[in-house]
Amino acid sequence: MASVDEIKRTWLVNGRRTEVRAVPGRRVLDILWEELGLTGTKEGCGEGECGACTVLLDGDAVASCLLTAGQVADGTEIMTIEGAMETELGRVLQQAYMEAGAVQCGFCIPGMILSSWALLKRNARPTEEEVRVALAGNLCRCTGYVKIVEAVLLAAERWNGGKGGKA
Amino acid sequence: MRVAEGVAYAFPKTLAEALEIQRDGGTRGRPLAGGTDLMALWAAGVPAPERVTVLRGIPELERIELDDASGTAFVGAGVTHGRIRDHEGLTRVAPGLVAACGSVGARQIQAVGTIG
């Protein structure tokens, strides 16, 4: 077997410069959990189907179970649910999810909130269809999605009165 | 040890470097760009290779060039589905490709998956 050398990368994790040393094939999900103590990101299927492990990479929702450290360049911004909760948009989404009754077991919710965050950051007044497309990669076994979609539409209405803005 | 942790990675910075690595049987690795298919395969139990050559972040592979006069486009193999999905110019020249890229997996896959 070829030798596997550790790599050193500096990422901006939840706004903080974070130096990571890992073998390049280490999953970003495992680095978040085991090196950085960020356990809000969940592992559901481990195959990129369910969206529980969603994080934002430079603002885009990605599956952290399919991404290895070696694919993530120096300087990349990574936002996890912990970081989202430090933002105004994250708090608006959290409140809307609670009020809409969108959370049952809660396992899918960190990923749902991050996909919602990515959507509203780019599109402050999405249609219901746009919400459904943005959340299509996040599976929920409990709710049937109706209240989750309602929660995102409610958050959009509330976030700066529907004008969006700086997250 | 999980999925790809035993895999050696090569990080070419240019297309020429990547070709150099791939030309030699001693350094050649499975090309890895977004990795959304490969990682899912390895997670499902298909053995991971000894080596991969990372093709993410190679500028020549990430080019999109439009020629409206002839109605043609050049799309590099390392361009993600998401970039194509959101590219206004490509919507004019290659609407089918844009629609296809917007329907691969979901947002999480489109953001890193490439057309290859």
> In angstroms, what separates the C-alpha of B70 from chain A's closest C-alpha?
32
Residues 111-140 of A with CB under 8 A from B: 115, 118, 133-134, 136-138
pLDDT score, position B68 = 85
Using a 10 angstrom Cβ sphere, with 0-12 exposed, 13-18 middle and 19 or more buried, the burial of residue B9 is: buried
CA-closest candidate to residue B102, choices B80, B71, B70: B80
CA nearest to B103 within chain A: A133
Which of A26, A27, A48 is facing B109, going by the closest CB pair? A48
Asked whether the beta carbons of residue B56 and residue A71 sit closer than 8 angstroms, the reply is yes
Instruction: Please write the tens of the pLDDT for every residue from A82-123.
Output: 999 999 999 999 999 999 999 999 999 999 999 999 999 999
Asked whether the beta carbons of residue A62 and residue B44 sit closer than 8 angstroms, the reply is no
Structure tokens at A166: 């700086």
pLDDT score, position B3 = 84
* Model ipTM over 0.90: yes
User: Torsion angle of alpha carbons B88, B93, B94, B99, nearest 10°?
Assistant: 30
Asked whether the beta carbons of residue B82 and residue A60 sit closer than 8 angstroms, the reply is yes
**CA A23 to mean position of chain CA atoms:** 23
Report DSSP letters for chain A, one per residue: ------EEEEEEETTEEEEEEE-TTSBHHHIIIIIT--TTS--SSSSSSS-TTEEEETTEEEETTS-BGGGS-TT-EEE-HHHHTTSHHHHHHHHHHHHHT--SS-TTHHHHHHHHHHHHHH-SS--HHHHHHHTTT---SSS-SHHHHHHHHHHHHHGGGGT----
Residues in B closer than 8 angstroms to A57, CB to CB, are 111-112
Q: Name residues whose C-beta falls within 8 Å of residue A28's C-beta, 6 or more positions apart in sequence.
A: A55, A64, A67, A68, A69, A72, A78
CA-closest candidate to residue A57, choices B106, B108, B102, B27: B108
The DSSP letter of residue B60 is G
What's the predicted TM-score (pTM) here?
Answer: 0.95
Residues in B closer than 8 angstroms to A4, CB to CB, are 5-9
Instruction: Give phi and psi for B114, each to the nearest 5.
Output: -115, 165
Q: Does A50 touch chain B (CB under 8 A)?
A: no
Asked whether the beta carbons of residue B107 and residue A60 sit closer than 8 angstroms, the reply is yes
Instruction: Give phi and psi for A9, each to the nearest 5.
Output: -130, 150
pLDDT score, position A1 = 47
Which parts of chain A register pLDDT below 70? 1-3, 162-166
Asked whether the beta carbons of residue B111 and residue A1 sit closer than 8 angstroms, the reply is no
Residue A104: how many CB atoms within 10 A of its CB?
15
Structure tokens at B98: 């844009």
pLDDT score, position A4 = 80
Q: Does B59 touch chain A (CB under 8 A)?
A: no
Which parts of chain B register pLDDT below 50? none
> In angstroms, what separates the C-alpha of A14 from chain B's closest C-alpha?
19
pLDDT score, position B17 = 97
> Buried b vs exposed e over A54-63: b needs ≥16 C-beta within 10 Å?
bbbbeebbbb
